[in-house]
Amino acid sequence: MIQPYTEDHRSAIKELIRQFRIETALLKARDVQPSDQDLENELNDYLKNGYSILLAFQEGECAGFLVLRSLDGVWWVDTLFTVQKWRRKGIASALYAEAEKQCQDSEVDNLFVWVHPNNHRMLSFLKSRGYDVLNLIEVRKPWNNERLSRTYSFDDSELRY
């Protein structure tokens, strides 16, 4: 069952944000342990900026969430996360379907998402939903002590990740 966020869900969503931040850091071989204040700040930032937060519930527990934002007429999936034990059970698909519905209801015909190039689960999920057009490439300098393990080629350019 998909529901919009309410304050009754504050502690549940903060725990999901914690799990999401830890898992996404692992995509870059980084160890991250967000503090309670970090989680509170992130949730408050979503709320302050008017992002739509959708929660999925299974058997009475919060099984996943999706954060959707609109910026200059463009809809973005900011965050999508499903708890490990509920993966591959349709939770992410249900959340994404609701996000796509909200996007269509606002008469916007496309939904965008940022994804790590090495997040193969998310890339496969997006591809299965028809998302396969590369839109932008974000480039930055490496962080201190960052381990770059891959190289991607785009026409004449070679970028590390």
User: What is the per-residue pLDDT across 7-49, written as a single tens digit (0 to 9) for each?
Assistant: 999 999 999 999 999 998 887 778 889 999 999 999 999 999 9
- Work out the mean pLDDT of the chain and round it to a whole number: 90
Q: Which of 70, 69, 12 is nearest to 39 (CA)?
A: 12
Domain ranges across the chain? 2-134
* Residue 52 bridge partners (DSSP): 68
Q: Is the dihedral of CA 96, 97, 101, 103 positive or negative?
A: positive
Q: Would you place residue 149 in the very low, low, confident or very high pLDDT band (cuts 50, 70, 90)?
A: confident
The yes/no answer on whether domain 2-134 falls in CATH 3.40.630.30 is: yes
Interatomic CA distance for residues 56 and 23, integer angstroms: 19
pLDDT score recorded for residue 40:
95
Cβ atoms of 96 and 75 closer than 8 Å: no
Position 115 pLDDT exceeds 90: no
Interatomic CA distance for residues 32 and 25, integer angstroms: 6
Q: How remote is the C-alpha of 31 from its chain's centroid?
A: 18
| Largest separation between any pair of C-alpha atoms in the chain | 51
Name the pTM for this structure. 0.84
